[in-house]
Amino acid sequence: IVELDYNPLDKSWVAIDRAARLLSSAERPLLLIGGGARQAAPQLSRLAEMLDAPALMTINARGALPDGHPLALSCSPSLPAARRLIAASDVVLAVGCELGPTDFDMYVDGGFRLPGALIRVDIDPEQLCRGRGADLPLLGDAKETLQLLTLQLTDAARQGEERADAARRLAAAEMEPEHAADLAWLHRVRDILPQARWVGDSTRLVYAGNLGFCAPRGNSWFNASVGFGALGYGLPAAIGAALAEPDRPVLCLAGDGGFQFTLAEMGTAMETRARLIVLLLNNRGYGEIKSAMRAADMEPLGVDLYTPDFPALARAYGWRAETLALGTPEPLLRQALEQAAAAANPTLIEIEA
């Protein structure tokens, strides 16, 4: 591992030059962007454009390349289309990316493969040594390292936009119908409140978003539905996000099961006047676990919940509240969201599944 301190006389330039040569010689380069690269958004866009390389973003990196950028890929690396793209790339540059199972082996099938040459950029030396061994590990800050790389590269055409578009379309086609419908609904909400930050619990809408939500900017999509999938995280985390940026609306995605783990924080939201909108999907149980049990030919057990009247409960705390369906027409959905974003008190919108 070569640590980069960016002295032109230091041997770190040898490593940068080697990385630039590898990338310049690539026919099918690819960027894998992790949460550690979120602060390097301009440098990532510039590098992707110079290399004409698709940029595949993990859950925590969504929006590092904004929605609409022709090289941006917001689909999960666990989807078959994304895995085929990775496997077909001859040089992969992973920036601030753990290459961990929560993104790359979400379904625990062991199917992730990265046969091409791998360059890894990370500020943590231990992280550079984990998982798939890098052919060229670079220890350093993502922004500064990418700036150095761009000094050594020239623009090239490698059909990157075509590769990204093909992967994007195939990933959408491979998605389960329920996930595709949920994702389309999330994008409707995003287009109505493009400035919002999204904070998620472990719930169906978040699972769909992790598969393909296109964030309009970085640092606007995070949740607890990966790893151990802790229930109850969404509401307190969303309150914290709202207090950190009081001029920006926060959308909290929660389910009827997880939301009940931290109901008392509704009082905290009122006390702090958090600018918060909870989108609560109510399917009256642990739907994903129930589906998994049935898929394994198990009798569902302990997954059907007694759920309270959430809108009444919210009003008891002083919140605004209403109920909508996932299929609510655009004008009504827009009216509900815009009123919630402008309200002085937090709002709960129960979404009937």
The residue out of 171, 197, 225 marking a domain boundary is 171
Mark whether 69 and 217 lie in a shared domain: no
The residue out of 127, 156, 171 marking a domain boundary is 171
310: domain CATH number is: 3.40.50.970
299 lies in which domain range? 175-352
Mark whether 19 and 144 lie in a shared domain: yes
pTM of the model: 0.90
Q: What is the pLDDT, as a whole number, of residue 6? A: 42
Average pLDDT across each block of 10 residues of the chain; the chain has 353 residues. List them in order. Answer: 45 82 97 95 96 97 93 96 97 96 91 95 90 89 95 94 97 94 97 96 95 93 85 96 94 95 96 96 80 82 86 97 94 97 96 87
Buried b (16+ CB within 10 A) or exposed e, 253-279: bbbbbbbbbbeebbebbeeeebbbbbb
Question: Helices 160-174 & 80-88, crossing angle to 10 degrees?
Answer: 150
Q: What is the pLDDT, as a whole number, of residue 12? A: 65
Mark whether 230 and 163 lie in a shared domain: no
- Tell me the Ramachandran region of residue 219: left when phi exceeds 0, alpha when psi lies from -120 to 50, beta otherwise: left
CB 352 within 8 A of CB 205: no
The residue out of 129, 144, 171 marking a domain boundary is 171
Q: How many domains does the chain divide into?
A: 2
Q: What is the pLDDT, as a whole number, of residue 14? A: 82
Helices first, then strands: H and E counts in the chain: 15, 13
Between CA 321 and CA 307 the distance in angstroms is 16
61: domain CATH number is: 3.40.50.1220
